[in-house]
């Protein structure tokens, strides 16, 4: 791993203490990074020791030597990121670290998106974007923009300062092991690709369920809602990986080209919005809030591969169980083998992103001693084959930035297309259906029923 100075803007925030700092800790513990310094910027009066203590609550195992080293390599800079003065002080610190051989510079913007422009302006003014003796990279947390127009403006602004090779737009779902596995699953198993199309696939469902409510993120969430929070990014990335055509090579550029192409052809044709019961009574939520905490969308992907095969997306807070999966239902063409009835359920492939990472395919078989047909599962459990631990998504994300691998990050055109898909539905006034905790709105069940289908979960 290259030696680097890592500047975390927003180091006192929730994201830094829950995900970013623990991931650096794990990378250091696994000796994936050995020589690094971290400079954290924030507005609070806080010491390096307190920052480390706040993070420790999110570590399962605490290795004293690694924690000590990390604390020794951490410098906190208190300042307002909209002020040039903060970046002049930062430059002095960075120069000092670079003097020690840490020549690469990584900015990780774990701040509110409204600070992206002033921060990058200050980076440019202090020339911290320049690649002198090493690389200079920048990581943006989501949301990148607020709609298609603002995402395009932000891309234009950033591209005046950085080249696309230096820019890493995080979608932590792309760091999840089973998501990283999707291109390999689809394109290296030759029996899948010939049937991965409208002729053999009846429809696809993508689910991202959460059992928790808004918790302590009420203020942020109430401005965004489910569609901007997880559909525009995580779920459309899952759709892109499922729908994309075969890339020339399993290489970051080719995969991103194919994902962008699929996203550019996707369109929402129906949607149901919901809000969980008593959401408006949650601390920090407006009593008149019309924010959706649930969304079910029907999406068409207008490419020859997917003509007439719909993609259904479903997400919500306060659902029964935390679970993310992709369900691919094959057509039930073998029914013509029977007279006037069909004893078969169609084959389906389930890619389970979390929990229970893995995938399984259902097949038909005869029950012994009878002529009945039953379905069995050909089941791959990640844990059984590779052990219980897969690296946390954020660990993969950070490791890839340091290595300069952009495959787990979203390119400018993908972000823009994703906003273009959801902008039209967000501009409409959508009816908001209340749903009980652990259930989904009736209208969402109805949406599938009218298509003669039902939700897998
Ligand atoms: C985040 C959303 O991007 O993803 C959260 O802002 C959501 O609202 C989270 O809870 C889900 O991520 P994961 O990895 O827990 O499935």
Write out pLDDT tens, residues 183-193.
999 999 999 99
Mean pLDDT of 133-160: 94
Mean pLDDT of 4-21: 94
User: C-alpha distances in angstroms, 70 versus 33, 190, 301, 351?
Assistant: 11, 46, 47, 37
pLDDT at 164: 93
Work out the burial of residue 300: count CB atoms within 10 Å of its CB; fewer than 13 is exposed, 13-18 middle, 19 or more buried. middle
Kindly state the tokens that stand for 91: 């430059």
Pocket lining: 141 vs ligand 1, CB cutoff 6 Å: no
Residue ranges of E strands in 13-163? 36-42, 74-78, 104-109, 136-140
Work out the number of other CB atoms within 10 angstroms of the CB of residue 401: 21
- Nearest-CA residue for ligand 1 atom 7 is 230
Q: Which atom of ligand 1 is nearest to the CA of 210?
A: 10
Ligand 1 midpoint to CA 209 (Å): 10
Ligand 1 midpoint to CA 172 (Å): 9
Q: Which of 144, 175, 229 to mutate to test the pocket of ligand 1 (most atoms within 8 A of CB)?
A: 229
In 3D space, the residue among 237, 167, 145, 205 whose CA is nearest the CA of residue 423 turns out to be: 145
pLDDT digits (tens, 9 = 90+) for 251-306: 989 999 999 999 999 999 999 999 999 999 999 999 999 999 999 999 999 999 99
Is the pLDDT at 419 greater than 80, yes or no? yes
Mean pLDDT of 113-123: 95
CA torsion, ordered 73, 78, 84, 85, to nearest 10 deg? -90
Query: Is the distance from CB of 294 to CB of 226 less than 8 angstroms?
Result: yes
Instruction: Characterize 121-147 residue by residue with b for buried, 16 or more Cβ atoms within 10 angstroms of its Cβ, and e for exposed.
Output: bbbbebebbeeeebbbbbbbbbbbbbb
pLDDT digits (tens, 9 = 90+) for 180-216: 999 999 999 999 999 999 999 999 999 999 999 998 8
pLDDT at 33: 84
Q: What percentage of the chain carries pLDDT values higher than 70?
A: 100
pLDDT at 55: 94
Distance between CA 231 and CA 418 in Å, rounded?
A: 9
Pocket lining: 229 vs ligand 1, CB cutoff 6 Å: yes
Residue-averaged pLDDT of the chain: 93
pTM for this prediction: 0.94
Pocket lining: 210 vs ligand 1, CB cutoff 6 Å: yes
Pocket lining: 21 vs ligand 1, CB cutoff 6 Å: no
Of the ranges 23-27, 262-266, 404-408, which is most confident?
262-266
pLDDT digits (tens, 9 = 90+) for 36-67: 899 999 999 999 999 999 999 999 889 999 99
pLDDT at 340: 78
Cis peptide bond upstream of 355, omega within 30: yes
Q: Which residue has the higher pLDDT, 421 or 391?
A: 421
pLDDT digits (tens, 9 = 90+) for 333-374: 788 888 878 888 899 999 999 999 999 999 999 899 988 889
Is the pLDDT at 391 greater than 80, yes or no? no
pLDDT at 337: 84
Ligand 1 midpoint to CA 168 (Å): 18
Is the pLDDT at 440 greater than 90, yes or no? yes
Ligand 1 midpoint to CA 345 (Å): 33
pLDDT at 325: 98
Q: Which atom of ligand 1 is nearest to the CA of 354?
A: 16
Is the pLDDT at 390 greater than 90, yes or no? no
Is the pLDDT at 153 greater than 90, yes or no? yes
Query: Is the distance from CB of 81 to CB of 108 less than 8 angstroms?
Result: no
pLDDT at 399: 92
Mean pLDDT of 138-157: 95
417 annotated active-site? no
Of 318-322, 385-389, 419-423, the one with minimum mean pLDDT is: 385-389
Specify the DSSP element, H or E, that contains 378.
strand 373-381
pLDDT band at 443 (very low <50, low <70, confident <90, very high): very high
Ligand 1 midpoint to CA 347 (Å): 30
Cis peptide bond upstream of 167, omega within 30: no
Is the pLDDT at 225 greater than 90, yes or no? yes
Ligand 1 midpoint to CA 415 (Å): 17
Q: What share of the chain is helix, strand, coil (3-state, %, to 5)?
A: 40, 25, 35
pLDDT at 427: 93
Residue ranges of E strands in 252-341? 266-276, 294-301, 311-316, 323-330
Q: Which of 13, 20, 210, 226 to mutate to test the pocket of ligand 1 (most atoms within 8 A of CB)?
A: 210
- Nearest-CA residue for ligand 1 atom 9 is 230
Helix (H, G, I), strand (E, B) or coil at 319: coil
Pocket lining: 110 vs ligand 1, CB cutoff 6 Å: no
Pocket lining: 292 vs ligand 1, CB cutoff 6 Å: no
In 3D space, the residue among 173, 176, 454, 175 whose CA is nearest the CA of residue 327 turns out to be: 454
Q: Which atom of ligand 1 is nearest to the CA of 233?
A: 3
Residues 234, 348, 382, 417: which is the catalytic one?
A: 234
pLDDT at 393: 87
Q: What percentage of the chain carries pLDDT values higher than 90?
A: 81
pLDDT at 54: 93
Is the pLDDT at 132 greater than 90, yes or no? no
Ligand 1 midpoint to CA 230 (Å): 7
Distance between CA 413 and CA 294 in Å, rounded?
A: 27
In 3D space, the residue among 438, 221, 434 whose CA is nearest the CA of residue 318 turns out to be: 438
Long-range contacts of 189-198 (CB under 8 A, 24+ apart): 193/246, 195/330, 196/305, 197/305, 197/306, 197/309, 198/305, 198/306, 198/307, 198/308, 198/309
Is the pLDDT at 102 greater than 90, yes or no? no
């Amino acid at each position: 791993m290259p030696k680097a100075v890592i500047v975390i803007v927003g180091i006192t925030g929730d994201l830094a203490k829950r995900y970013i700092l623990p991931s650096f800790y794990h990378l250091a513990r696994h000796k994936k990074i050995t020589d690094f310094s971290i400079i954290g910027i924030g507005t609070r009066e806080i010491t390096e020791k307190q920052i480390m203590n706040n993070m420790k609550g999110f570590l399962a195992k605490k290795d004293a030597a690694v924690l000590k080293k990390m604390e020794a390599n951490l410098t906190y800079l208190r300042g307002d990121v909209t002020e040039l003065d903060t970046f002049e002080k930062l430059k002095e610190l960075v120069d000092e670290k670079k003097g020690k051989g840490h020549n690469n510079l990584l900015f990780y913007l774990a701040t509110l998106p409204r600070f992206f422009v002033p921060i990058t302006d200050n980076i440019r003014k202090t020339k911290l974007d320049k690649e002198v003796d090493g690389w200079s990279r920048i990581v943006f947390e989501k949301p990148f923009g607020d709609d298609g127009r603002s995402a395009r403006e932000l891309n234009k602004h950033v591209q005046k300062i950085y080249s696309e090779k230096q820019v890493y737009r995080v979608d932590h779902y792309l760091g999840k092991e089973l998501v990283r596995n999707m291109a390999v699953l689809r394109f290296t198993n030759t029996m899948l690709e010939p049937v991965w199309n409208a002729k053999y696939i009846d429809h696809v469902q993508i689910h991202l369920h959460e059992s928790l409510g808004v918790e302590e993120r009420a203020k942020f969430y109430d401005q965004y809602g489910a569609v901007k929070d997880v559909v525009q990014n995580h779920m459309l990335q899952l759709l892109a990986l499922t729908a994309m055509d075969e890339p020339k090579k399993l290489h970051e550029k080719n995969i991103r080209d194919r994902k962008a192409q699929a996203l550019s052809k996707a369109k929402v044709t129906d949607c149901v919005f919901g809000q969980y019961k008593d959401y408006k009574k949650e601390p920090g939520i407006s009593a008149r809030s019309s924010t959706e905490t649930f969304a079910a969308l029907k999406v068409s992907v207008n490419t020859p591969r997917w003509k007439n095969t719909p993609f259904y997306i479903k997400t919500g807070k306060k659902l029964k169980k935390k679970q993310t999966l992709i369900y691919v239902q094959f057509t039930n063409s073998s029914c013509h083998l029977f007279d006037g009835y069909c004893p078969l359920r169609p084959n389906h492939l389930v890619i389970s992103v979390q929990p229970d990472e893995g995938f399984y395919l259902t097949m038909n078989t005869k029950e012994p001693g009878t002529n009945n047909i039953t379905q069995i599962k050909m089941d791959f459990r990640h844990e059984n084959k590779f052990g219980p631990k897969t690296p946390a998504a954020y660990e993969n994300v950070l490791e890839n930035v340091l290595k300069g691998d952009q495959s787990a990050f979203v390119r400018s055109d993908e972000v823009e297309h994703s906003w273009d898909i959801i902008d039209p539905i967000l501009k409409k006034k959508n009816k908001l259906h209340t749903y009980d905790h652990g259930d989904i709105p009736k209208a969402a069940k109805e949406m599938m029923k009218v298509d003669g289908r039902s939700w897998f979960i």
